[in-house]
Homo-oligomer: A and B are copies of this chain.
Amino acid sequence: MAKDMTLLWGSGSAPCWRGYHQKLLSFEKMEYKSQEVLDINPRGQLPSFKHGNIVVNESYSVCFYLESQFKNQGTKLIPDDTDQQALMYQRMFEGLTFYDKAAAVVYYQYYVPEGERHDSAVKRNKEALETELKLWEGYLQKLGAGSYLAGPSFTLADVVVFPTVGILFGFGLSSQRYPKLGEYYALVKERPSIKASWPPHWVEDLEGDGDTLKDV
């Protein structure tokens, strides 16, 4: 990472995994509410990113900004081909819904205060995630073996959606039940950029939640 770039991030967060890495802060210690973060992000959220005097905090914004500024360096992440580009944009923003549906299940207890939890909501969220997963299975099925989310090459769609897939398998999603997503996960996690950015606290322990999704 260039010297004039600062990225503050947290391990295991999908939005953070979408970015480059530099300074790892602790979620447990609530370092995302520290002055260092607040100085560049009034929301006190990670990731927070600074390039020279330019601050860009939302993970999707960071991707678009970096791709726009450095489009001739490294892997080309926005395809020139019109169909692939359209599919990439489509999958990128469906990826937000995918993440929301995954988060509603995986982080339910974190987001919903104890007195507001309902079995009916848990059931509905689980069913919504299953419907969502079947859509993505279908998308990958249609593209064929060895494909990325928007076609034959790795694009911004993979940059933003893979972390959600990684979290789902980390929380115990079955690759028997979702074989195309399983293949996609196996394909992408071997990429050097993904290996280099793997959430370090996952190497040893996924917060003991490795079977949260075993029934999904």
Residues of A bordering B, CB below 8 Å? 42-43, 51, 54-62, 64-65, 68-69, 82-83, 85-86, 89-90, 92-94, 96, 113, 115-116, 118, 120-121, 135, 138
- Residue from B55, B59, B118 within 8 A of A115 (CB atoms): B118
Contact assessment for A56 and B116 in the assembled complex, using a CB-CB cutoff below 8 Å: no
Contacts A54-B82, A68-B85, A113-B120: A43 and B135 contacting too (C-beta < 8 A)?
A: yes
Which of A59, A64, A86, A118 has the most chain B CB atoms inside 10 A of its CB? A86
CA distance A190 to B68 in the complex (A): 31
- Residue from B54, B92, B94, B113 within 8 A of A86 (CB atoms): B54
Contact assessment for B65 and A85 in the assembled complex, using a CB-CB cutoff below 8 Å: yes
Chain B residues whose CB sits within 8 angstroms of the CB of A135 once the complex forms: 42-43
CA distance A54 to B59 in the complex (A): 27
Chain B residues whose CB sits within 8 angstroms of the CB of A69 once the complex forms: 82
Given contact pairs A58-B89, A61-B93, A64-B89, a sample of 10 additional A-B residue pairs in the complex whose CB atoms are under 8 Å apart: A42-B135, A56-B86, A57-B90, A57-B94, A58-B92, A60-B89, A65-B85, A65-B89, A65-B90, A69-B82
The oligomer's copy count stands at 2
Contacts A115-B120, A116-B118: A54 and B42 contacting too (C-beta < 8 A)?
A: no
Which of A57, A61, A113 has the most chain B CB atoms inside 10 A of its CB? A61
Contact assessment for A65 and B42 in the assembled complex, using a CB-CB cutoff below 8 Å: no
